[in-house]
Amino acid sequence: MAEGHSVVAVGSRSQQKASEFASSIPGATAYGSYEDLVCDNDVDAIYVSTPHPFHKEHTLLALHASKPVLCEKPFAISASESEEMIDAALINKVALLEAMWTRYLPHIAQVRKILSSGVLGKIYSVEADHGQRLADRNIPRLVDPELAGGALLDLGIYPISFAHLILGAPTKITSRAVMTDRGVDAQTSAIFDYADGAQAVITTNMITRTPCRALVSGLLARLEIESVFYNPTSMRVITSDGEITEYPHSYQGHGLREQAIEMARVVRSGQLESPLMPWSETVAVMQSLDEIRRQIGLSYPFEN
């Protein structure tokens, strides 16, 4: 648990499930409905980690109860849903952050410093992949269309968000996918094109474990981020003349606490969004996901 944080309540769709979960958290109150949870005056902020299709509904519920929200990735199912959630945060003057936890990690802060230093020169290429052997485990949120399953929203969002971090929103996207027999993507690849000639190549799949590395290549040097690039990890800068600067992995712990720490900072400062993952970036990433979904024909029953 991060210093200054405590879990005081949990909510579920049933009292039994809430009580079972809360039993491992000393002092936590269990609520059998999300409506009861957001009305608890002892709750300072809410972490929304329900299945993808419910992110908007549960975030709006909390925001309209004047509770700050840290909402899991993918932030929503679409850019339009994201904008609706952001509008609610503005109307209620309540903080709202996307729990894209990678953006809050120390090694990504170092990546930002490397980029701003100019040591890489003009960036021409970004490569990032995220594949896990998960499909044969029959995890509902990954395989079920009703839960917005597939590799793209659950796994692909990591390399896509990374490409946005480095190069911003693309001017053109070209994507292809292999679909499961249930109609969600098992494997998706995409090329992002940019007006300045740069490209990002991202791949994701839920069939097999891939290297899960990231590479940023500039005119003067390249940045290599080791597996797993979206976790705390080691990396290095290699210049065109072979000089290597190592950034070893020294972080203690998994890394999920950093987003909670940033959430607390934002709330206490009176801000509504985090500069580490601003709303404009959240919407831009969702727009890229929307376009990839359109190209590969990935839709969900509840959207029709």
- Mean pLDDT for 246-272 is 95
Query: 208-256 pLDDT, tens per residue?
Result: 999 999 999 999 999 999 999 999 999 999 999 999 999 999 999 989 9
Rounded distance between C-alpha atoms, residue 277 and residue 280, angstroms:
8
- Mean pLDDT for 277-288 is 98
Of 96, 119, 50, 75, the closest CA to residue 284 belongs to 75
pLDDT band for position 304 (50/70/90)?
low
Query: 143-166 pLDDT, tens per residue?
Result: 999 999 999 999 999 999 999 999
Domains and CATH numbers, the chain: 9-100 (3.40.50.720), 102-256+285-303 (3.30.360.10)
Look at strands 214-218 and 221-225 and give their pairing. antiparallel
Query: 10-38 pLDDT, tens per residue?
Result: 999 999 999 999 999 988 999 999 999 99
What are the C-alpha distances in Å from 14 to residues 146, 177, 287?
20, 37, 34
pLDDT at 2 exceeding the cut of 80: no
pTM of the model: 0.95
**The two three-digit tokens of residue 34, written as one number:** 């999300």
Dihedral sign, CA of 50, 56, 58, 62?
positive
Query: 92-138 pLDDT, tens per residue?
Result: 999 999 999 999 999 999 999 999 999 999 999 999 999 999 999 98
pLDDT of residue 4: 82
Tracing tokens 């200054």 back to the chain, one arrives at: 4
pLDDT at 300 exceeding the cut of 80: yes
Which are the contacts of 9, defined by CB distance < 8 A and separation ≥ 6? 22, 28, 29, 30, 31, 37, 40, 42, 43
Of 217, 213, 247, the closest CA to residue 120 belongs to 217
8 A C-beta contact, residue 190 and residue 292: yes
pLDDT at 39 exceeding the cut of 70: yes
